Amino acid sequence: MRSIIKVVFLSVIAMCLFLPSALADNSVTRIDGKNRYAVAVNAAKKSWTTSSTVVLVGKDAYADALSAVPFAYQKNAPVLFTNSTSLSTDTKKGLQSLKTKNVIILGGTKSVSGKVTTQLKSMGISVKRISGKNRYDLAANIAKQMKSSSTAVVANGFAYADAVAIAPYAAKQGYPILLTNDKGLRSETSAVMKSRGVKNTIVIGGESSVNKSAYAQLPSPGRIGGANRYEVAANIVKKYNMSTSTTYISNGFAYADAASGASIAAKQGKAFIFTNEKTLPKATRQIIGSKKITSFSILGGTSTVTNTVVSQLKNPVVGKKVFIDPGHGAHDSGAVGYGLYEKNLNLDVAKRLNTKLNNAGALTTMSRTSDTFDSLQTRVSKGASANADIFISVHANSNDNSSANGTETYYDKTYASANSLKLAQNIQPKMVSALGTRDRGVKTAGFYVIKYSKMPSVLLETGFVSSPVDSNILKSATYKDRLASGISSGVSGYFR
């Protein structure tokens, strides 16, 4: 009986030890739906139990939706979509569920037909329409329906993502979103800015979107640009220090989902960023890392934001900067044994680790990617220049006694001692488990690269090339891949 109690007790202890890691992954939820109409309705329900007013735009009228969010925010209304020719079934159900009494349609009858208006009225809903002769005129007419503001946002009327990215901030500040094109400042935009007494302008996008000529004609302009839509969105979050307690994220090309997300992000005063379908872009990873974002809400289904992206967002390593240093190189072969050259083994494992961590969502930098040599000082300097969160030096061991074998991890106490130890303790058991080698434990040593690197740093001795047992394991591509996975898992564990 005592032995049984002991086993149960130890099992409970083990659960307590491992459970926190499972619970410490980043929080990720998804707002989904079978189509864009359902996604918009489901998004609206996250912030509105009921909504007496709803702003409605046509399903493909993305330009009409660009200026919708700040206007809808002032009406305390979500933005929904409909088919252009008839009221979409999911939207109708959403309006009923929200107990909507008033609908404001944005766009002309080509975007939202008169039949939709008739259908809405038959539901006992009052309908108003704001239209314009083109997207620029519509944006200007929407601005005229908003409260006066001395500041306006200007974006390219065809760069949909730029306008959506700024929408939550613009909405909270009461700024209208006005449109232009890449040829110059549109007269409709210039006219409404003058009539509304706009004195300051926030320009979204680079010079390919809003050119120098248009920029020069704007009152007190300031530009937020970026190399791409992901960087523009990230720069907006950074510039205005937007709340990231829960960050909304959508595919940067799924404009309907993005507009729905911007609507509730504005309502909740949260940041909004973009991804692509299959993986988190670099700029998005960088803002996640710099802002230490740990809670996300995705807009759209798996066809627009895959589960691979979900896995990256959940992983605590997402956005973290990891410096990987394959030891030795070029003329410095390192240890040699049983046909293995340490420099080649280190590089092979490091490259695999680089791939694993990158796929997990990390931002990785390698000291070398080919058979080259850096001094120890240069390796440390490269890690510092990368502003790395952690430094991992990959090595293999050797001993005159061929019976020496096993895997061990070293750290130094000079800088970041506690976190270096934590990193070593997370990686070491994962390497041993992956390789099935003897566990030689975590040790301290003053190896140059970990002694002088100021971030948490470890040096990994994956196995002994001088051992017939270890060398046979380290020759295997399968085991090297498992080793890289193990190290990557240990890194994720460290950041939990």
Summarize the confidence of residues 354-382 as an average pLDDT: 98
pLDDT at 62: 87
pLDDT at 18: 39
Summarize the confidence of residues 413-422 as an average pLDDT: 98
The residue ranking higher by pLDDT, 2 or 221, is 221
State what percent of residues in the chain have pLDDT above 70: 95
pLDDT at 456: 98
Angle between helices 187-195 and 135-144 (to 10 degrees): 10
Does residue 210 contact residue 259 with C-beta atoms inside 8 Å?
Answer: no
Catalytic residues: 461
Summarize the confidence of residues 425-444 as an average pLDDT: 98
Summarize the confidence of residues 253-282 as an average pLDDT: 95
pLDDT at 8: 40
Domains of the chain: 27-314 (no CATH), 321-495 (3.40.630.40)
Is this structure's pTM higher than 0.75?
yes
Does residue 51 contact residue 78 with C-beta atoms inside 8 Å?
Answer: yes
pLDDT tens digits, 178-231: 999 999 999 999 999 999 999 999 999 999 999 999 999 999 999 999 999 999
pLDDT at 336: 98
User: Is the per-residue pLDDT at 1 higher than 80?
Assistant: no
C-alpha 30 chain-centroid distance: 14
Reference 484, options 460, 450, 467; nearest CA is: 460
User: Is the per-residue pLDDT at 15 higher than 60?
Assistant: no
pLDDT at 286: 98
Cα 31 to Cα 126: distance, rounded to the nearest angstrom: 29
In Å, how far are 38, 55, 454 from 45, measured between CA atoms? 11, 14, 48
pLDDT-derived band of residue 140, with 50, 70 and 90 as boundaries?
A: very high
In Å, how far are 58, 185, 224, 257, 363 from 62, measured between CA atoms? 8, 20, 21, 11, 33
User: Is the per-residue pLDDT at 17 higher than 90?
Assistant: no
State what percent of residues in the chain have pLDDT above 90: 94
pLDDT at 24: 78
Amino acid 484 reads A
Summarize the confidence of residues 117-121 as an average pLDDT: 98
Summarize the confidence of residues 20-47 as an average pLDDT: 88
pLDDT tens digits, 149-162: 999 999 999 999 99
Summarize the confidence of residues 68-72 as an average pLDDT: 96
pLDDT at 63: 85
Summarize the confidence of residues 401-424 as an average pLDDT: 98
The residue ranking higher by pLDDT, 409 or 19, is 409
